[in-house]
Structure 1
Amino acid sequence: MPFEFRVNGRIARPVAQVFDAVVNPVQLSRYFVTLGGISGPLVAGATVTWWGEVPVEVEAVEHNERIVFRWDAMVAKEETPYRTRVEMRFQSLDDGATMVTIAETGWRESEQGQKGSYLNCEGWSQMLACMKAWLEYGINLRHGYYLSELSGKPALEPQI
């Protein structure tokens, strides 16, 4: 059985603002990639780094609709590295809010693959909660949430 997941959340902001909060490195670094930063905007064909060290290969960006990228899966020392696929969808709702759906696929069918998928599911759920708090209330929920935030060591950021 392949390991994959889908999480979603409603953000009470227009789709253009929510989409920008992901593709724009200034915005994304205010609520999600808060330590180590982001090397550039998410544009199709680009490879950017998150947390100062995690490469993100952007495959597709459809303005206000969809973002697709690949990045390294969490692997055990003896495993050959591989990448998972993340797809974010942005749906404008009748009330002016936006439904964000994040799906990640491609883990190996192994104990390590299962562990990685569970950790990333947790991480993406946190990302949506942090995005909601930031865009709706101007609150950065990640500040001080992880020990890495307190120590200044980006290597301890969550493996999502």
Structure 2
Amino acid sequence: MPLGFTVSARIAKPPAEVFDAVVNPKKLSGYFTTIRGASAPLVAGTTVIWWGDVPVEVDEVRENDRIVLRWDALTADGKPGYKTRIEMGFTGLDDGATLVTIAEAGWREDEVGLKKSYLNCEGWTQMMCSLKAYLEYGINLRDGYYRSEMVGEPAREHNL
């Protein structure tokens, strides 16, 4: 069975606002894809570029509800080996907030796949924390967070 994980967070904003902060490249670049941004909106059937060099294939976009993406899982030598699948869900809560759920799966069951899955689990958790801070408080938590951002060089892996 391929490796995978699911993370979730409550964002105190309505689903439409949270969804827009993910599909809108200007907003996404304000808290997540901070180095060189996101090249275009998430539209089904397209490929967008995050962080200046990471292709993200957009399989499905259901407004205010669900996004399905695929991207390369990198091998031990840092080259694309196969694709993992990311599913994002946006569920409205009774109090007007949104429960965001992100599941990524498809890594090979080997040492490299395990390591990469842990890195992406960490990255998606950071993404949701950053999304929450950005939408609820107008703060970019990722500004200068990574060493590569401090020296102005792009990250070489998409460990988010």
Q: What percentage of residue pairs aligned between the two structures are identical? A: 64
User: Could you say which residue in structure 1 is the equivalent of 2:77?
Assistant: 77
Pairwise CA distance, 1:36:
1.2
User: Could you say which residue in structure 2 is the equivalent of 1:10?
Assistant: 10
User: Could you say which residue in structure 2 is the equivalent of 1:88?
Assistant: 88
The answer for unaligned runs of 5 or more in structure 1 is: none
List structure 1 runs of 4+ shifted beyond 3 angstroms: none
Q: Does 1:127 align with 2:127?
A: yes
User: Could you say which residue in structure 1 is the equivalent of 2:152?
Assistant: 152
**Other structure's SS at 1:31 match:** coil
Q: Which moved more, 1:143-152 or 1:126-135?
A: 143-152
Asked whether the 8 Å contact 2:119–2:159 carries over to 1, the reply is yes
**Other structure's SS at 2:42 match:** coil
1:8-157 matched pairs, under 5 angstroms: 8-77=8-77, 81-156=81-156
The amino acid across from 1:93 in the alignment is L
Q: What is the TM-score with the length of structure 1 in the denominator? A: 0.96
Distance, in Å, in 1 between the alignment partners of 2:140 and 2:99 is 20
Q: What is the TM-score with the length of structure 2 in the denominator? A: 0.96
Distance, in Å, in 1 between the alignment partners of 2:77 and 2:122 is 22
